[in-house]
Amino acid sequence: MGAADIVPGVSGGTVALVLGIYDRLIRNIRTGARGLKQLLTGDVKGFKQTLRDIEWIWLLTLLGGILIAVAALSSILETLLNDHPVAMAGLFFGLVVGTIWIAYNLLSRVDGVAAGIVVGVAVVLFFLLGLREDTEVAEGTAEVVTQPFWIFFAVGAVAICAMILPGISGSFILVMLGMYTEVLGAVNDRDVVSLGVFALGCVTGLAVFSTLLNWLLDNYRDWVIAAMIGLMLGSMRVLWPWPNGTFTTRLDAPSDPVVLPIALAIAGAAVVVIVERVSNSQEHG
């Protein structure tokens, strides 16, 4: 999940879906949100019970893996993306194709509503991503804080949702919202207040969104899965290998290199399907 969050157009939620832990992740986040609400309302007894309901060992192990992957793989992935953008985009494209196939098989039935949700979400995200051609901030752009605190709060609340939604990364949302350099500026300047407000927005957004998503999964599971398929389909605009991989949302016809990106796409899709089947066999073994 940590490695996936580094790549524009891919999110940790995509990996969680492949590994079959998505529902478990959302459930634990939802439980934590309930505990936070109990603490804020003074329900200390309920808060203590909720803390016991969270799968701390599983959750902390998962978080540790994410942090280790970000620390260990970020520079490697950055180098590969810079040196081989088209080939790497082909690999990521295939990984998402495989994930879409897995998500499709999670649908209990495909009716007109589900199909409409898939198409609608995919089209909306496809065109939204096209509003910005570059997926990264240009080199030399000043990393300074110019926005008020409430902007940091709102952006944090929106960006954190990418952590638990397949299809788009939090860093890319920051780029699209024009806040990537602002957040980096706050980090560089050690602007504790701005970062604290941003973190508070993240916590609030995660608590509210996880609660809503958990309810939707319980009551409208097929529709939620359909929306996730649409998100992944729409995000493939960023992952289309040509002309410059994940560095642009511009779409060109395939051109050299062609064979390697296509081969990596096929391999990536195959790996995802194999991993999902192995995961399922272990779960039911």
Name residues whose C-beta falls within 8 Å of residue 168's C-beta, 6 or more positions apart in sequence. Answer: 8, 9, 11, 125, 129, 162, 231, 235, 238
pLDDT tens sequence across 226-273: 998 998 898 888 889 998 887 888 889 988 889 999 999 999 899 888
| Tokens linked to 48 | 């203590």
Q: Give residue-wise pLDDT tens across range 31-41.
A: 888 888 888 88
Over the range 22-57, which residues count as b (16 or more CB within 10 Å of their CB) and which as e?
beebbbbbbbbbbbbebeeeeeeeebeebeeebeee
CA angle, 136 then 99 then 222, to 5°: 110
Per the structure, how many domains does the chain have? Answer: 1
CB atoms within 10 A of CB 14: 33
- Region 205-224: what's the mean pLDDT? 86
Cβ atoms within 10 Å, residue 203: 16
Give the whole-angstrom CA distance, residue 58 versus residue 64: 10
Three-state SS sequence of 204-259: HHHHHHHHHHHHHHHHCHHHHHHHHHHHHHHHHHHHCCCCCHHHECCCCCCCCCCH
**pTM metric for this prediction:** 0.78
**If residue 108 lies in a helix (H) or strand (E), which one and from where to where?**
none
CA atoms within 13 A on the CB side of 127: 5
Segment 5-52, tens digit of pLDDT: 666 556 777 777 777 788 888 888 888 888 888 888 888 888 888 888
Length of the chain: 285
Question: What is the domain range of residue 270?
Answer: 2-284
